[in-house]
């Protein structure tokens, strides 16, 4: 009986999808702006990348992971500073972005941590970074590598 309900629901979903194509919401509605990163000193320290992720759709989207040929272990991290002024980073498992909202990855907050760099990050180069969303969608951005002392996308 449970199976039958599921089948009906699936049929309804497929019909809806066919009728409303190509306007399915989700990762397709994600716009990434102002991506940037800093040049690295060698490859022993991880790199970091920053950007604004905007959900222009009508459905919430959830960022669940990252992929890039530049680093073997790219992770979303969050920097937090405690009452004593001590900063620490921890992995942010998933980041939900409500419809019409945006999330900023910026120094001192959320960031894309690029661990186990496969090559040095050289000023003037770019690298592709793919954002993986819960609905299976992906958005790839080309991230410019700025100077070692850059503090924002305009530096
Ligand atoms: Cu980090």
- 103 alpha carbon to ligand 1 midpoint, in Å? 16
Q: Residue 114: which CATH number? A: 2.60.40.1890
Q: Residues 101, 27: contact at Cβ < 8 Å? A: no
| Residue 120 is assigned to a structural domain of this protein | yes
- 101 alpha carbon to ligand 1 midpoint, in Å? 23
| Peptide bond connecting 125 to the previous residue in cis, omega within 30 degrees of 0 | no
The residue-averaged pLDDT of 5-14 equals: 51
| Residue 45 is assigned to a structural domain of this protein | yes
Q: What pLDDT was estimated at residue 41? A: 85
| Residue 5 is assigned to a structural domain of this protein | no
Q: What pLDDT was estimated at residue 20? A: 42
Q: Residues 52, 104: contact at Cβ < 8 Å? A: yes
The residue-averaged pLDDT of 39-64 equals: 94
- 2 alpha carbon to ligand 1 midpoint, in Å? 44
Q: Structurally, how many domains does the chain consist of? A: 1
The residue range of the domain holding 72 is: 25-146
| Residue 62 is assigned to a structural domain of this protein | yes
pLDDT tens, 78-101?
Answer: 999 999 999 999 999 899 999 999
pTM: 0.81
């Amino acid at each position: 009986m449970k199976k039958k309900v599921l089948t009906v629901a699936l049929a309804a979903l497929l019909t809806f999808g066919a009728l409303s194509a190509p306007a399915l919401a989700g990762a397709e509605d994600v716009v990434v702006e102002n991506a940037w990163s800093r040049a690295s000193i060698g490859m022993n320290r991880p790199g970091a990348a920053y950007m604004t992720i905007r959900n222009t759709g009508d459905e919430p989207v959830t960022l669940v992971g990252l992929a890039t040929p530049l680093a073997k272990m790219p992770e979303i991290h969050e920097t937090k500073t405690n009452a004593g002024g001590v900063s620490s980073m921890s992995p942010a498992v998933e980041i939900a972005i409500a419809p019409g909202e945006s999330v900023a990855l910026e120094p001192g907050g959320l960031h894309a941590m690029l661990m186990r760099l496969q090559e040095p990050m050289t000023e003037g180069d770019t690298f592709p970074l793919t954002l993986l969303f819960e609905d299976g969608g992906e958005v790839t951005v080309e991230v410019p590598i700025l100077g070692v002392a850059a503090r924002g996308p305009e530096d």
